[in-house]
């Protein structure tokens, strides 16, 4: 794998390899010194043109735990505000010779475009409504930690599918891992022809009890340029995952940030079924595994012995 732009860049074996490596890195996270020398001397550039809490902090932590040098760039406060283009920004920061560029933008296709302007490995940290592949990988990791494997697991992805990059990456990733995926939401928020990705479509939650996993999506108000639902209250009435709709044996997931009281009620966010914090925790080790896969040059099933060495205090 040269870049990670889409879940399409990985087959099931590739996803399993990253998840297995992430598990090895989870052991590092339990050490007193949470660091290995695997990417010493490598440089990771985190380029964020859009707000982020989880993805940005976990990529920074992941690169640091691998001993890489990290440069964090946010478009706000940079020369982007003076009109510098994405291409010129990449060419400028490329002068520092990054080995990997982690990029989040509001523009679908931007990560693929950037891969043409630099020799660095590109990791798509979310490009508009297109994809968010590391979110899908950390969600697979989280579910495999609970179920062992995802074969025949029944996953319902509920809510604003139309504006969601997470939905697209997760439909693809969960299905590659053998799960059956259903997307559910109001007709205005379910893209036409989404069935072409292999999932089923429901416009009501009457059969939600069939799900082993309820994956709620955020109502992406910032990407809605017109009224896609009559009101948020109306949406919540029909589609909110709450204590009445979530069964006690079901796992609840959400990529964050959560709109409490809209797509999820407060009680389910704080319930034992919620895996939302586990998803964030998985983000660091899975992103370590992605950076390691792209930059270590090693494609072996086991890491080089020195890569995982404990570091002196
Ligand atoms: N899930 C996710 O991408 O969250 P952030 O926008 O906080 O990075």
Give, for all 313 residues of the chain, the pLDDT tens digit: 999 999 999 999 999 999 999 999 999 888 999 899 999 999 999 999 999 999 999 999 999 999 999 999 998 888 888 899 999 999 999 999 999 999 999 999 999 999 999 999 999 999 999 999 999 999 999 999 999 999 999 999 999 999 999 999 999 999 999 999 999 999 999 999 999 999 999 999 999 999 999 999 999 877 665 678 888 999 999 999 999 999 999 999 999 999 999 999 999 999 999 999 999 999 999 999 999 999 997 544 567 767 888 776 6
Per-residue pLDDT at 204? 97
Does residue 250 lie within any of the structural domains? Answer: yes
Are 180 and 112 found together in one domain?
no
- Residue 53 CA, ligand 1 centroid: distance in Å: 6
Are 29 and 121 found together in one domain?
yes
Per-residue pLDDT at 207? 98
Does residue 120 lie within any of the structural domains? Answer: yes
Whether residue 180 contacts residue 198, with contact meaning beta carbons closer than 8 Å, is answered with no
Are 112 and 180 found together in one domain?
no
Residues with Cβ < 8 Å from 191, sequence gap 6 or more?
A: 161, 162
Does residue 200 lie within any of the structural domains? Answer: yes
- Residue 221 CA, ligand 1 centroid: distance in Å: 15
- Residue 305 CA, ligand 1 centroid: distance in Å: 33
- Supply the residue whose CA is at minimum distance from atom 4 of ligand 1: 54
Is ligand 1 within 6 A of the CB of residue 256?
yes
The structure's pTM equals 0.94
Are 298 and 165 found together in one domain?
no
Are 273 and 145 found together in one domain?
yes
Whether residue 63 contacts residue 45, with contact meaning beta carbons closer than 8 Å, is answered with no
Does residue 207 lie within any of the structural domains? Answer: yes
Does residue 1 lie within any of the structural domains? Answer: no
Does residue 85 lie within any of the structural domains? Answer: yes
Range of the domain at 184: 133-278
Are 89 and 138 found together in one domain?
no
Are 209 and 300 found together in one domain?
no
Does residue 68 lie within any of the structural domains? Answer: yes
Per-residue pLDDT at 60? 98
Is ligand 1 within 6 A of the CB of residue 54?
yes
The burial class, CB within 10 Å (0-12 / 13-18 / 19+), for 103 is buried
Are 119 and 141 found together in one domain?
no
Per-residue pLDDT at 117? 97
Are 272 and 292 found together in one domain?
no
State the closest ligand 1 atom to the C-alpha of 132, by its place in the atom list counted from 1: 3
Per-residue pLDDT at 254? 98
DSSP three-state, residue 101: strand
Sheet (strand 154-158) strand order: 200-202, 180-184, 154-158, 213-216, 251-253
- Supply the residue whose CA is at minimum distance from atom 5 of ligand 1: 52
Does residue 119 lie within any of the structural domains? Answer: yes
The CATH number covering residue 231 comes to 3.40.50.1370
Query: What is the C-alpha to C-alpha distance for residues 47 and 27, in angstroms, rounded to an integer?
Result: 28
Are 137 and 273 found together in one domain?
yes
State the closest ligand 1 atom to the C-alpha of 56, by its place in the atom list counted from 1: 8
Is ligand 1 within 6 A of the CB of residue 255?
yes
The number of distinct structural domains making up the chain is 2
How many CB atoms neighbour CB 3 within 10 A?
18
Is ligand 1 within 6 A of the CB of residue 98?
no
State the closest ligand 1 atom to the C-alpha of 126, by its place in the atom list counted from 1: 3
Furthest-apart CA pair in the chain: how many Å? Answer: 58
Q: For residue 55, give both structure tokens.
A: 């993805």
Per-residue pLDDT at 313? 62
Mutate to test the pocket of ligand 1, among 256, 259, 263, 279 (most ligand atoms within 8 A of CB): 256
Is ligand 1 within 6 A of the CB of residue 126?
yes
């Amino acid at each position: 794998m040269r870049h990670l732009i889409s879940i399409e860049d990985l087959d099931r074996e590739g996803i399993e390899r990253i998840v297995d490596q992430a598990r090895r890195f989870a052991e590092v996270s339990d050490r007193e010194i949470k660091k290995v020398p695997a990417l010493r001397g490598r440089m990771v550039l985190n380029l964020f043109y859009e707000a982020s809490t989880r993805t940005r902090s976990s990529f920074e932590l992941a690169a640091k735990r691998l001993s890489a040098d990290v440069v964090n760039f946010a478009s706000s406060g940079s020369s982007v505000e003076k009109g510098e283009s994405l291409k010129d920004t990449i060419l400028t920061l490329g002068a520092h010779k990054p080995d990997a560029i982690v990029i989040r933008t509001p523009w679908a296709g931007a990560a693929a475009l950037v891969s043409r302007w630099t020799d660095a490995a590109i990791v798509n940290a979310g490009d508009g409504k297109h994809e968010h592949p590391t979110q899908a990988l950390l969600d697979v990791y989280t579910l495999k930690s609970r179920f062992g494997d995802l074969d025949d697991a029944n996953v319902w992805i509920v809510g604003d599918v139309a504006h969601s990059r997470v939905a697209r990456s997760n439909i693809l990733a969960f299905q590659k891992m053998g799960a059956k995926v259903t997307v559910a939401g109001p007709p205005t928020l379910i893209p036409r022809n989404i069935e072409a990705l292999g999932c089923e479509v429901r416009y009501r939650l009457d059969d939600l009890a069939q799900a082993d996993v309820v994956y709620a999506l955020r109502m992406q108000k910032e990407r809605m340029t017109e009224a896609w639902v009559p009101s948020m209250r109306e949406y919540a009435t029909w589609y909110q995952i709450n204590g009445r709709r979530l069964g006690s044996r079901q796992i609840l997931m959400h990529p964050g940030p959560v709109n409490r009281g809209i797509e999820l009620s407060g009680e389910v966010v704080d319930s034992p079924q919620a895996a939302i914090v586990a998803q964030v925790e998985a983000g660091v080790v899975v992103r370590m595994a992605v950076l390691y896969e792209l930059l270590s040059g090693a494609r072996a099933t086991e890491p080089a012995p020195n890569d995982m060495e404990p570091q002196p205090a």
